[in-house]
Amino acid sequence: MSALHGVGVLVTRPEHQAMPLCRLLEAQGATALRLPAVDIKAVGNRRDLAATLGALGKFDVIIFTSSNAVRFGATLLDQRSDLTLAAIGPATARALNHAGYRVAVQPQEGFDSESLLEHPRLAHPAGRRVLIVKGSNGRPLLEQELVRRGAEVVTADVYQRLPASPTPAALAALLSRFTDGAVQVITATSLEIGGNLLGMATPALREEFERAQWLVPGERIAAGLRELGLSAPLLQAESADDHDLVGALVRWRSSASGA
């Protein structure tokens, strides 16, 4: 029997990012249901932004903060191979690799701003120019800490995250799946996604959310969900990488079954 046979997982990533995780879950025998909690939209005009930034060669390092930053901002690089690129984690690094670029700086462990800031190349950036390609209204920690360390930091917002707005019919259908026992696990790969899920839930759906196992990547998001009032059990994966998420579920199911 497959490792996740009989487990229903609600995948809440943006629509364009959900399918790889769904396929991995289904390969392990799980049933994957989708309810995007965030919509990703491009912001600004690439030509105008490129003109504002000027020659990218004047930056000592260019940091991409997510795979979405690569998706909407890689065109700024204009296929140049002489730029020093940094990625906040493995998923972002893979996105840059797939776009044809080599990543020179990424965390040895972890997948967040704190992990990237531990890299030796960013330990003493005083006098260096750093470009951060990111989404609007993201965490300011990376920029703030690099500035504190003496770097000259420029940011480029290339996308925005908006709370998804599922229809009442979609929420009612989801509630039915919960009450039928078809969903045991909810993924929340960012605090924003978790917060949006809690915000969109009807009272009846919120009760079901509290009965499910929430799968999150790391302590920071787990703590943030607790601060938002979630009391459901939390299962922590090593990162938001698809394989890490599925691996955490397989270990949980094996432990729960006594295998």
Task: Annotate 53-80 with DSSP letters as a single string.
Answer: H--GGG-SEEEE-SHHHHHHHGGGGTT-
Q: How many CA atoms lie within 13 A of 168 on its CB side?
A: 1
Identify whether the C-beta of residue 161 lies closer than 8 Å to the C-beta of residue 192: yes
Q: In the prediction, which pLDDT does 241 show?
A: 87
Strand partners, 61: 130
Quick one: average pLDDT of 200-226?
95
User: Residues 138-151: pLDDT tens digits?
Assistant: 889 999 999 999 99
Q: In the prediction, which pLDDT does 259 show?
A: 47
Q: In the prediction, which pLDDT does 44 show?
A: 86
User: Residues 101-133: pLDDT tens digits?
Assistant: 999 999 988 788 999 999 999 999 999 999 999
Q: What is the mean pLDDT of the chain?
A: 94
List the chain domain ranges: 8-37+165-257, 41-162
Q: In the prediction, which pLDDT does 233 show?
A: 97
Quick one: average pLDDT of 234-240?
92
Q: Dihedrals φ, ψ of 229, to 5°?
A: 100, 5
User: Residues 24-74: pLDDT tens digits?
Assistant: 999 999 999 999 999 999 998 889 999 999 999 999 999 999 999 999 999
Fold match between domain 8-37+165-257 and domain 41-162: yes
pTM of the model: 0.81
**Domain 8-37+165-257, CATH class in plain words:** alpha beta
**Which of 3.40.50.300, 3.60.21.10, 2.60.130.10, 3.40.50.10090 would CATH assign to domain 41-162?**
3.40.50.10090
